Amino acid sequence: MRITRRLFTNWQSLLALCIIAGYVIVAISAPWIAPQADPQHPVTMRRLPGVRPTALRVPRPPQPGAILGTTPGGWDIAYALVWGTRPALHFGLITALLTACIGVLVGAFSGYLEGAVGRVLMRVTDAFLTFPAIAGIYLFRYALLSLNTDAPPPFWQVVLQKLQLNPIMLVLIAFSWMPYARLIHANFTTLKHAEYALAAKTTGAPPLLIIFRHLLPNAITPAIVLAARDIGGMVLLEATFTFIGMGAGLPWGALLVTSRDWIIGPGGNPLIYWWVFVPATLVLIVFSIGWNLLGDGLNSALNPRSRERM
């Protein structure tokens, strides 16, 4: 209860919760805010109806029926922003959760186990730190997820499709767990020599019980804070990869891709076609700020030193 009270009395946490709640409300209310033309086959992006094909090449300014205008190609910006909230929350939460789980497990076992096993796990962590994420995208896209239309898809493609894991999500999970591993490893190397851990070991408690019941609850705080911040960061990274042409995932990033040639208007003026990039950029920035503020609030509420100052 004390942690909850500290969390809700921190202005950063309150602002973060308001921002995140706003995105959640938009995601839940999407069918009413931006009704689907065919509810049986929902889409996250739609073209403005009744527009001549020759007019689709030029972005159209805000107007009735498209309150934030359209991108080149006639895509309704407001519609994509509303329906893009659901996949953004799904992508950020799933990616950050799986990343944290992998990193925490690796850090816990490498920190608790002594000898060759712990050293090997940390050397593997160091090796992943040196591997470029961009190369990982090509690895997952062309090797792991390559499709052969003449043969049935391999079992891993079926599993990944059912889990809704795309190549960028897999890359971010595979190459983002290392900070968690290092944090938990550093905490475990200290906590495993604490009196309560040594007492549990003396009484014959199995290693798994010591790790998950005695050590991990006392070492997990930095990982929780980092995971909260990573939810927004993962969505930003996905939009970045999409913008540079290395993925096709969230509608927010797709809006920026379709409008990249119109960000700078005639004469170098970026304000002529402001609607093609300002709304999507603001949505991404505020989304990231909300989760970063939540991470700061959790850090203040869960950090013992911060609690002492409060």
pLDDT tens digits, 187-209: 999 898 888 888 988 888 898 99
Q: Which of 263, 64, 241 has the alpha carbon at shortest distance from 170?
A: 241
> In total, how many domains does the chain have?
1
Q: What is the pLDDT of residue 30?
A: 93
pLDDT confidence of 294, banded at 50, 70, 90?
A: very high
Percent of the chain scoring above 90 in pLDDT: 36
How many C-alpha atoms does 93 have within 13 Å on its Cβ side?
Answer: 9
| 127, part of any domain | yes
The more confident residue out of 145 and 232 is 232
Q: What pTM was computed for the model?
A: 0.87
| 250, part of any domain | yes
Q: Three-state SS for 100?
A: helix
Q: Point out the least confidently predicted range of 30-34, 102-106, 132-136, 139-143.
A: 139-143
| 88, part of any domain | yes
CATH number of the structural domain spanning residue 207: 1.10.3720.10
Mean pLDDT of all residues in the chain? 84
State the residue range of the domain holding 181.
72-295
Whole-angstrom Cα distance, residue 87 to residue 44?
9
Q: What is the pLDDT of residue 307?
A: 47
Whole-angstrom Cα distance, residue 273 to residue 265?
6
Residue type, 186: A
| 156, part of any domain | yes
Q: Which two tokens stand for residue 22?
A: 């706003």
Q: What is the pLDDT of residue 1?
A: 62
| 289, part of any domain | yes
Dump pLDDT digits (tens) for 129-158. 888 777 777 777 665 555 555 566 666 666
The region that residue 71 occupies, defined by phi over 0 for left and psi between -120 and 50 for alpha, beta otherwise, is beta
| 8, part of any domain | no
Span 87-92, mean pLDDT?
Answer: 93
Q: What is the pLDDT of residue 143?
A: 58
Q: Which two tokens stand for residue 182?
A: 């290092």
| 63, part of any domain | no
Residue type, 81: L
Strand partners, 70: 76
| 115, part of any domain | yes
